[in-house]
């Protein structure tokens, strides 16, 4: 599937931006049936679990394919889209202009059955997310291939079962015509509860210093979130 990924950075204005982004995401569900996202989720940071997050929230919109996402983008820019919810178009445009929108192809690497139950049941879930920029010298395609081959490991070190979660999803930004996305990777690792989430955070705190991944990632940020399906 294709995802719109909106990343709201932690700033003095972030609370207002999160409120506006949530309102925009809710309004997106009022689009015509063949236009609206398959699902929409708001992922709110949990600073008591992982302090000082760079991102206050991540909003996700899922589409069946590129054509579906393109129809939504066209609707969003139309008078009908703007009228669907106050500030919908303005919020989306402001987010894109701020460089915090990534349109990506979703690659569930593990836990497809668990994810199917998650989407069927709805509600909330907790997850660990990483947002990264690729290492210098890597093309987007080279980075994507290397990242897929590293699934389940940090450098050459396997991630143990207690830190792997129920499902692992990689989101690879789509190719563009001369435009570069602000980030090259967004991943998601789902857990049943905060205990499992904290176990992963603790393992990464002990085992990840960036050195084993410096041939892959130039910069990366972790955030613990509670995901709510709208």
The dihedral through the CA atoms of 110, 144, 182, 29 has a sign that is negative
Interatomic CA distance for residues 169 and 129, integer angstroms: 10
pTM of the model: 0.89
Q: How far is CA 189 from CA 84, 87, 167, 215, 220, in A?
A: 33, 32, 6, 22, 15
The residue ranges of DSSP E strands in 78-166, in sequence order, are: 101-110, 124-134, 153-154, 157-158
Per-residue tokens: 34? 């063949």
Taking the CA atoms of 218, 220, 56 and 178 in sequence, report the sign of the dihedral they define: positive
Whether 191 contacts 165, CB under 8 Å: yes
Q: Using the predicted structure, report yes or no on whether residue 16 has a pLDDT greater than 70.
A: no
pLDDT digits over 45-90, tens only? 999 999 999 998 999 999 999 999 999 989 888 887 776 655 554 5
pLDDT range class, residue 11, cuts 50, 70, 90? low
**Confidence check: pLDDT of 12 > 60:** no
**Nearest-angstrom CA–CA distance, 69 and 61:** 9
Q: Domains plus CATH for the chain?
A: 2-229 (3.30.70.100)
pLDDT digits (tens, 9 = 90+) for 166-210: 999 999 999 887 778 999 999 999 999 999 999 999 999 988 876
- Minimal CA–CA distance to 170: which of 129, 229, 124? 129
């Amino acid at each position: 599937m294709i995802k719109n990924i909106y990343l709201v950075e932690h700033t003095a204005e972030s609370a207002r931006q999160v409120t506006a982004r949530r309102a925009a995401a809710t309004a997106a569900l009022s689009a015509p049936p063949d236009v609206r996202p398959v699902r929409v989720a708001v992922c709110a940071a949990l600073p008591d679990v992982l302090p000082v997050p760079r991102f206050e929230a991540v909003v996700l919109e899922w589409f069946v394919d590129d054509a579906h996402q393109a129809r939504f983008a066209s609707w969003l820019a139309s008078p009908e889209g703007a009228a669907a919810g106050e500030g919908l178009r303005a919020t989306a445009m402001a987010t894109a202009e701020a460089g915090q929108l990534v349109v990506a192809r979703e690659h569930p690497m593990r836990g497809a059955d668990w994810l199917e139950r998650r989407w069927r049941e709805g509600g909330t879930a907790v997850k660990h997310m990483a947002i990264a920029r690729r290492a210098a010298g890597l093309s987007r395609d080279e980075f994507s291939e290397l990242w897929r081959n590293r699934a389940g490991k940090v450098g050459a070190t396997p991630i143990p079962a207690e830190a792997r979660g129920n499902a692992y999803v990689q989101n690879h930004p789509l190719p563009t015509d001369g435009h570069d996305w602000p980030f090259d990777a967004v991943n998601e690792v789902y857990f049943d509860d905060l205990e499992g989430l904290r176990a992963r955070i603790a393992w990464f705190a002990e085992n990840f210093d960036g050195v084993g991944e410096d041939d892959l990632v130039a910069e990366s940020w972790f955030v613990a979130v509670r995901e709510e399906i709208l």
